[in-house]
């Protein structure tokens, strides 16, 4: 042992029960939304059954990771209570953990983090990069749990009102570097961490595109990139399509994100993305460089 990381070490992600190899091909994270669309509070039997069935469907479609979320972070949204979030998420996590696939949970709250890790979740995907009181240490206390640290300017309730940067790519990079260091200082090994520029989170069309074009530069932080473009507003602005018509744009964005260095793409359309990446990989573009 020399103490130096092996050349492939930068492409391994320790994610709970799994050690994910990001070197050979990009991975697909399938989105499982447990937030209520209309009048319910979520967590009702019907909502839970539907979300569990969605986990099964995405796994059959070839998802490498399932990402379960109980807080809508769409622009203008307000967080649910801890009780609401737990009622939505916990039964779905318990189901997904039994499917023997890496299970990620999209949450920021230490109470929810603790409960889903007790239920066997492998990854905490935090759009607030573990900045909420207690979150960092709750994750650090579990030796193998994976984490995605994402950049957001402001909070979901107000983030799209007036996003402002002097150098969006530089500021996102500096933020991610600082959160990576904070996580490592708290005892979270770098091998457990991936980073995310947070497209659409406190960013205008121009900010998102400047960041996208500079995305390769984030690879210099030394950890793999996870990217979520699926159905986002910027794709609507670029194509003129409503949210339910953005499948092709989402697919194009996922491939462009991989071309710009992403190793995990977070998507709604798992089957289509898996197929598109099969062609990408067959063309010799899949291996990390
Ligand atoms: C993202 C996310 C993203 C990560 C959401 C939506 C909004 N987590 N959670 N990256 N987006 N890591 O899907 O439109 O971009 S929720």
**Residue 1 pLDDT > 70, yes or no?**
no
Report which ligand 1 atom has the smallest distance to the Cα of 199.
15
Please give the distance, rounded to the nearest whole angstrom, from the Cα atom of residue 105 to the centre of ligand 1. Answer: 11
**DSSP letter, residue 5:** P
Q: What is the mean pLDDT of residues 257-271?
A: 98
What SS3 class is residue 115? helix
Beta bridge partners of 196: 150
232 is catalytic: yes
Q: Please, which pLDDT band fits residue 271 given cuts at 50, 70 and 90? A: very high
CB-based burial of residue 256 (10 Å sphere; 0-12 exposed, 13-18 middle, 19+ buried)? middle
- Give Cα separations from 50 to 34, 42, 99, 111, 242 (angstroms): 9, 11, 16, 24, 24
Please give the distance, rounded to the nearest whole angstrom, from the Cα atom of residue 228 to the centre of ligand 1. Answer: 5
| Whole-number percent of the chain with pLDDT over 70 | 95
Q: What is the mean pLDDT of residues 217-228?
A: 96
Neighbours of 271 (CB within 10 A): 16
Buried b / exposed e over 62-76, threshold 16 CB at 10 Å, is ebbbbbbbbbbbebe
Give residue 125's Cα distance to chain centre. Answer: 5
Regarding beta strands 12-15 and 18-21, do their DSSP bridges make them parallel or antiparallel, or are they unpaired? antiparallel
Residues 6+ apart with CB under 8 A from 217: 169, 173
Distance CA 202, CA 200 (A): 6
Q: pLDDT tens across 128-147, in order?
A: 999 999 999 999 999 999 99
Residues 6+ apart with CB under 8 A from 103: 16, 65, 66, 68, 93, 96, 97, 120, 121, 122, 123
Alpha helices (runs of H) in 36-129, residue ranges in sequence order: 45-60, 82-97, 110-118
Please give the distance, rounded to the nearest whole angstrom, from the Cα atom of residue 202 to the centre of ligand 1. Answer: 12
Q: pLDDT tens across 28-42, in order?
A: 999 999 987 645 556
Nearest-CA residue for ligand 1 atom 8 is 127
State phi, psi for 254 to the nearest 5 degrees. Answer: -65, -45
| Residue ranges around ligand 1 (CB below 6 Å) | 73, 106, 125, 127, 148, 150, 196, 198-199, 226, 228, 232, 266
Annotated catalytic residue within 231, 232, 246, 263: 232
Q: Which two tokens stand for residue 236?
A: 């609507």
Distance CA 145, CA 15 (A): 5
Question: Hey, where are the domains in the chain?
Answer: 12-282
Residue 72: per-residue pLDDT:
86
Q: Please, which pLDDT band fits residue 201 given cuts at 50, 70 and 90? A: very high
Pocket perturbation via mutation, ligand 1, pick of 89, 106, 146, 265 by most ligand atoms within 8 A of CB: 106
Torsion sign (Cα): 203, 207, 209, 213: negative
Distance CA 16, CA 192 (A): 9
Q: pLDDT tens across 155-200, in order?
A: 998 899 999 999 999 999 999 999 999 999 999 999 999 999 999 9
Regarding beta strands 103-106 and 225-228, do their DSSP bridges make them parallel or antiparallel, or are they unpaired? unpaired
Residue 157 near residue 77, CB atoms below 8 Å: yes
What CATH number does domain 12-282 carry, 3.40.50.10470, 3.20.20.20, 3.40.50.2020, 3.40.50.300?
Answer: 3.20.20.20
Nearest-CA residue for ligand 1 atom 10 is 228
Regarding beta strands 12-15 and 27-33, do their DSSP bridges make them parallel or antiparallel, or are they unpaired? unpaired
What rounded mean pLDDT belongs to the chain?
94
Residue 5: per-residue pLDDT:
60
Q: pLDDT tens across 39-90, in order?
A: 555 668 888 999 999 999 999 999 999 999 998 888 888 889 999 999 999 9
DSSP notation for 67-82: EEE-S--STT--PPPH
Candidates 239, 240, 275; CA nearest to 254 is 275
Q: Please, which pLDDT band fits residue 2 given cuts at 50, 70 and 90? A: very low
Please give the distance, rounded to the nearest whole angstrom, from the Cα atom of residue 227 to the centre of ligand 1. Answer: 8
278 is catalytic: no
Residue 3: per-residue pLDDT:
52
- Give Cα separations from 77 to 53, 100, 149, 161 (angstroms): 26, 32, 20, 13
Nearest-CA residue for ligand 1 atom 3 is 228
Nearest-CA residue for ligand 1 atom 16 is 73
Q: Which two tokens stand for residue 178?
A: 């600082």
């Amino acid at each position: 042992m020399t103490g130096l990381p092996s050349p492939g070490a930068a492409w391994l992600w320790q994610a709970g029960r799994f050690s994910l190899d990001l070197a050979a091909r990009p991975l697909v994270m399938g989105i499982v939304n447990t937030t209520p669309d209309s009048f319910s509070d979520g967590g009702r039997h019907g909502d839970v059954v539907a979300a569990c069935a969605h986990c099964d469907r995405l796994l059959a479609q070839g998802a490498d990771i399932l990402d379960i979320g109980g807080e809508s972070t769409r622009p203008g949204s307000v967080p649910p209570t801890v009780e609401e979030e737990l009622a939505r998420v916990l039964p779905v996590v318990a189901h997904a953990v039994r499917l023997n696939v890496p299970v990620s949970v999209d949450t920021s709250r230490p109470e929810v983090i603790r409960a889903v890790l007790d239920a066997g979740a492998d990854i905490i995907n935090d759009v607030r990069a573990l900045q909420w009181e207690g979150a960092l240490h709750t994750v650090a206390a579990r030796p193998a749990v994976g984490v995605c640290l994402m950049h957001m300017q402001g909070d979901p309730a107000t983030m799209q009102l007036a996003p402002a940067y002097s150098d969006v790519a530089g500021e996102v990079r500096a933020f991610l570097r600082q959160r990576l260091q904070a996580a490592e200082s708290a005892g979270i090994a770098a091998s457990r961490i991936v980073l995310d520029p947070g497209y659409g989170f406190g960013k205008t069309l121009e900010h998102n595109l400047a960041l996208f074009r500079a995305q390769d530069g984030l690879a210099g932080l030394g950890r793999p990139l996870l990217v979520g473009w699926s159905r986002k507003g910027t794709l609507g602005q670029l194509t003129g399509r409503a949210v339910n018509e953005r499948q092709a744009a989402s697919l194009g964005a996922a491939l462009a994100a991989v071309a710009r260095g992403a190793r995990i793409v977070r998507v709604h359309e798992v089957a289509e993305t898996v197929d598109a990446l099969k062609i990408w990989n067959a063309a010799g573009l899949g291996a990390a460089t």
